[in-house]
Amino acid sequence: MSSQNHEGKRIYQVWPGNNRFYCGGRLVFGPDASSLLLTASMIGGPAITFCVRMVYLIGHRYPAFHSLLLMGAVMITILDFVFLFLTSSRDPGIIPRNKEAPEAETPQAISQSLEWVSNKAGKAKLPRTKDITVNGFSVKVKFCDTCQLYRPPRASHCSICNNCVQRFDHHCPWVGQCIALRNYPFFVCFLSCSTLLCIYVFVFSCICMLEVHGQFYLVLADDLILGALVLYCFVSVWFVGGLTVFHFYLICTNQTTCENFRYHYDKNENPYRKGILQNLKELFFTKIPPSLINFRDWAPEEEDDVEVGSIASERGRAYSPRDTDMSSGKPDHNNIDLRLQNQEYGNKSDAAVQEISVDEGATAIGSVDQEPANLRRNSSVDVRSR
C-alpha cells in the first residue's frame, strides 16, 4: 500500500448515506442505532429478572428443576442478543451509487413513460420507469434520483438510511437498521427467539407461582416479581408473536413487507413465488450473498473532488472505454471532468456543472434526432462494485 493511500480516506468515512460505522467500517448501523438500547433493555430486563429469581428459588424450593429453568432462560436470551446484533450491525444489502445517470437506452429497450428524469448535470433524460422480465412476468423498475441508477427488482430506497437496498423489506426502528437481503434471516431468527423467550418466561413464571399450594391469587400477592413478569410477557407476546407469524407468512409466499402493502400479491400473481418449501429453503438454507461494497477500501482520490456518492468498493477502478473514447464531432467530456476536478468540492453545485455542460455540449445538440433542445448525450461513469 502506498503512502498516498495511507493519507487518504476509506469509503466508510466519506459515504454519503446516513449510516453509522464502527470498528473501522466493519460494523454498519442505521442512523437510529441508539434505539438498540431500548430494545436491549426491553429484552434483557425481564430475562435477567427471571434468571435472578430462579437463582433465588434454587436454594429455597426445587434446585434441579429451577436450575434447568435457569439454563434454558440464559441460552434463549443469549441467542436473542446474538441475532439482534447480527441484524443491526450488518450491511443489509446497500447498492453502490453512480456518479451520473446511465446513458439513455434505445426506445425499443425501454417502456413508454410519461415522466422523464434528468441526470445531475442535466445532460441526459431518462424514463422514470422501465420494464424488465422476471420469471416470465413483466416487472417495472424505477429510477432513483439520489443514487442515479435503476433499482434492481425488489430493491427500494430507504429514506431514513438514504440508500438503495437490495430486496428491501422495511426499516425497523427497534433494531435501527434496514431489513433487507443480507440480514433478513437473522431478523426472523431474532423475532422467533424473542417470541420463544416471552412464552418461556410466561409459562414457567406461572408454574413457579402455582408451586405454592396451587393458590394462584394468593401467590401473586406474595411474589410480585413473578406476577409482573407474567403480565409483561403476556402483553409482549402479542406484539412479537404477531410479527413472527406475519413474517413467516411472508416467507412462505416469498413476499417482502413492502411488496405486501404495495402490490397486494394475495390478489395478483407473484413473480417470485416458488412454493412453500423452496421459499423456506431460499431464505434459511441459501448462502447469504457478499456485500456489494467493501466500506474498508480506500476511496479513490479522483472521486474525492468530484462526488462522494459515486464511490464504490473496488480499488484501482478505471473508466470504461465508452467514457474515454470520444468520436469526432462529440463534446469532449474528459475536459469537462478535468475542469470539475479543479473546483473545490464544497463550492460545487448543480448550476456550475450545467454552465460548463452548456458551453462544451452545444455542438452535440444538432446530432440528436427528434429530441428537445436541452437533451444532451450522457457521459456517465458507472462505478458500481463487483
Find cell 407474567 and name the residue.
230
Full DSSP string of 144-209: ETTTTEEPPTT-EEETTTTEEETT--EEETTTTEEE-TTTHHHHHHHHHHHHHHHHHHHHHHHHHH
Q: Quick one: DSSP state of residue 370?
A: S
Find cell 436473542 and name the residue.
80
The Cα 383–Cα 249 span in angstroms is 38
The Cα 175–Cα 28 span in angstroms is 12
Residues 6+ apart with CB under 8 A from 244: 188, 191, 192, 194, 195
The Cα 85–Cα 23 span in angstroms is 14
**Catalytic residue IDs:** 172
One-letter amino acid identity for 49? Answer: T
CB 188 within 8 A of CB 251: yes
Q: How far is the CA of 225 from the CAs of 98, 268, 270, in angstroms?
A: 56, 50, 49
Q: Angle at the Cα of 129 (from 126 to 135), degrees rounded to 5?
A: 130
Full DSSP string of 294-349: -TTSBPPHHHHTT-GGG--S-TT----HHHH---TTS--HHHHHHHHHHS-GGG--
One-letter amino acid identity for 88? Answer: S
Helix (H, G, I), strand (E, B) or coil at 125: strand
Q: Quick one: DSSP state of residue 265?
A: T
Looking at the DSSP assignment, which residues form a beta bridge with residue 163?
Answer: 158
